[in-house]
Amino acid sequence: MILSEIKTGSPEETKYLGEQLATLLKPGDVICLNGDLGAGKTAFSQGVARGLGVTGAVTSPTFTLINEYEGRLPLYHFDVYRLDGPEDMEDLGYEEYFYGHGVCLIEWAQRVRDVLPQERLDINLIREANAESVRIVYFEPAGNRYQQLVEELIKLVHSGN
Ligand code: ADP
Ligand code: MG
């Protein structure tokens, strides 16, 4: 499995990384975000939303579990931190989203790993010890589509655009 990592030095840089990823997204893409509280999952999501052309505020849907936005593609932003169990995902009708025509962004995705599609992009955000504003963003693609996506993203980041 390819594992790529990118370091960001500020919340804005993390958002910009999300924004760059957004330019490459296609209908049906599933992006899973993991990392502790405050790691930057929502910051990254805000960047993705911006990159998809979503206007207006994007906040963690912690209590609602999902927020829907309209951009270049529909954006389904999940935060499953407060999920009680898999039945909550059933109640949400998750399959309509995961196998639909929009982009799914799932904060705390590991909590619902049993229902995640096998092919997806896992992104893990880790705080760097002793550096308050640094995050290491690990990309773990599963499946051809997502390996290609990460390769394109790395190229985009390195081209400085
Ligand atoms: P999560 O959704 O993972 O709980 P948030 O995105 O809500 O995290 O919060 C991240 C917090 O960390 C924010 O307060 C942000 O200002 C701060 N921060 C500091 N450095 C970074 C960075 N490089 N990337 C993202 N957030 C950062
Ligand atoms: Mg969050």
Q: Whose CA is nearest to atom 12 of ligand 1?
A: 38
In angstroms, the CA 17 to CA 127 distance is: 16
- Residues contacting 37, CB < 8 A, separation 6+: none
Distance 48 CA to ligand 2 centre (A): 13
Distance 123 CA to ligand 1 centre (A): 14
Q: Is residue 161 part of a domain?
A: no
pLDDT single digits (tens) 6-38: 999 999 999 999 999 999 999 999 999 999 999
The fraction of the chain above a pLDDT of 70, given in percent, is 98
Q: Whose CA is nearest to atom 21 of ligand 1?
A: 11
Q: Is residue 85 part of a domain?
A: yes
Distances (CA, A) of 33 to 8, 39, 118, 130, 161: 16, 10, 15, 23, 23
Q: Is residue 148 part of a domain?
A: yes
User: Is any atom of ligand 1 closer than 6 Å to the C-beta of 45?
Assistant: no
pLDDT of 133 > 70? The answer is yes
Give the pLDDT score at 104: 98
User: Is any atom of ligand 1 closer than 6 Å to the C-beta of 67?
Assistant: no
Provide the token pair at 105. Answer: 């962004």
Atom of ligand 1 nearest to the CA of 134: 23
Left (φ > 0), alpha (ψ -120 to 50) or beta: where does 130 sit? left
Q: Is residue 82 part of a domain?
A: yes
* This prediction's pTM: 0.96
Instruction: Please give the angle made by the CA atoms of 85, 47 and 108, to the nearest 5 degrees.
Output: 15
Return the CATH number at 25: 3.40.50.300
In angstroms, the CA 105 to CA 45 distance is: 7
| Number of domain units in the chain | 1
Q: Give residue 47's domain range.
A: 4-156
Q: Is 56 exposed, middle or buried (0-12, 13-18, 19+ CB in 10 A)?
A: exposed
Reference 32, options 108, 119, 137; nearest CA is 108
- Residue to mutate (ligand 1; options 135, 136, 137, 138; most atoms within 8 A of CB): 135
Instruction: Return the minimum-mean-pLDDT range out of 48-52, 57-61, 113-117, 145-149.
Output: 57-61
